[in-house]
Amino acid sequence: MEQMRATARGEFREQVRGKQTPGTAQGRAGSRGRSARLATAALLSSLLLPACSGPESAEAPATCETPAGARTLDVDHGDSPETPWPKPDGEELLVYFETSGLSERYARMVEEAAGIWSGSPCLNAVAVPACPAEGNCVAVEEEYSGGGRNTDGEFTGWDSGGVREGGRITLYTRLLDETSDNGALATVVHELGHALGLVHRKDGSDVMNAFTDDGTDPVPDSTNFYNLAVIYDADA
Ligand SMILES: [Zn+2]
């Protein structure tokens, strides 16, 4: 995962985050390095990060409500925060994902991923060819290479006044084109998860973990939907 912040103007803050993908051609070529890196990451996590107390998983809520004081669960404390979109009271948050710049394979996956996240009672994620002039918009784009980095997807968000104003997902086809439909969908779901306000999970098997591969279940577990309710329940 890579992160970068730059202050462009006033409260504007841009955040870039990528996802590393062990199950790629590049990863396979350097599998020993990958294992070492994963082991190092696990060691650092156990040494440097504060222990979480309380439960680490939760049922998906039927409504966008969580108990007062509820906190997101199983999140990676070493990850940089995401910023929530402004959610209208009593209504579901609506976020558009613009797919006109995508080839058919990835446009279809964005549509599928948006449908998956729309299972949350807090939000509707909608894939559209082009975002309407008004409304929350995340452009999804394709690039061939991530500049030599071992990443197949990246989310950039821009915020103002503590709320999200927009964002962009970049899908890197050099790696994604070699990835199975299951693995590529996991990447798309992962990046949409960031775009909707979720940070990385500690659970190594979850789609919001910093690492995903061909075997990752692209369907988020119930704790992700609980965490979205924590983030977007205005009364919590
Ligand atoms: Zn990520």
Residue 158 pLDDT level (bands cut at 50, 70, 90): very high
- Average pLDDT score, the chain: 83
C-alpha distances in Å from residue 102, one per residue of 5, 60, 64, 82, 106: 26, 31, 32, 25, 6
Report how far ligand 1's centroid is from the alpha carbon of 8 (Å): 23
CA of 145 from ligand 1 middle (Å) equals 17
For the ranges 15-24, 40-49, 106-115, 141-150, the lowest mean pLDDT is seen at 40-49
- Dist. CA 111 → ligand 1 center (Å): 19
Compute, in angstroms, the gap from residue 208 CA to the centroid of ligand 1.
7
Residue from 119, 55, 59, 65 nearest 90 by CA: 65
Residue 10, pLDDT above cutoff 70: no
- Answer yes or no: is pLDDT of 32 > 90: no
Amino acid at 201: R
Can you tell me the mean pLDDT for 176-201?
97
Output the pLDDT for position 42: 45
CA of 115 from ligand 1 middle (Å) equals 19
Distance between Cα 187 and ligand 1 center (Å): 9
pLDDT one-digit tens code per residue, 127-147: 999 999 999 999 999 999 978
> What's the CA-to-centroid distance between 137 and ligand 1, angstroms?
19
Is 159's pLDDT higher than 90? yes
Q: Among 21-25, 58-62, 64-68, 226-230, which stretch is predicted with the lowest mean pLDDT? A: 21-25
Ligand 1 centre distance from Cα of residue 68 (Å): 28
CA 129 – ligand 1 centroid, Å:
24
Please report the pLDDT score of residue 55 as a whole number.
Answer: 73
- In the chain, helix, strand, coil percent, each to 5? 30, 25, 50
The helix/strand/coil state of 165 is strand
Distance 1 CA to ligand 1 centre (A): 6
Number of H helices, E strands in the chain: 6, 7
What is the C-alpha to C-alpha distance for residues 17 and 211, in angstroms, rounded to an integer?
13
127 CA → ligand 1 middle, Å:
20
- Residue 66 CA to ligand 1 center (angstroms) comes to 25
CA 198 to ligand 1 centroid distance, Å: 9
CATH superfamily label, 3-28+83-232:
Collagenase (Catalytic Domain) (3.40.390.10)
* 112-130 residue pLDDT tens: 999 999 999 999 999 999 9
pTM given for the model: 0.81
C-alpha 19 – ligand 1 centre gap (Å)? 4
Determine the pLDDT at residue 54. Answer: 62
Closest CA to 138 of 100, 103, 90: 100
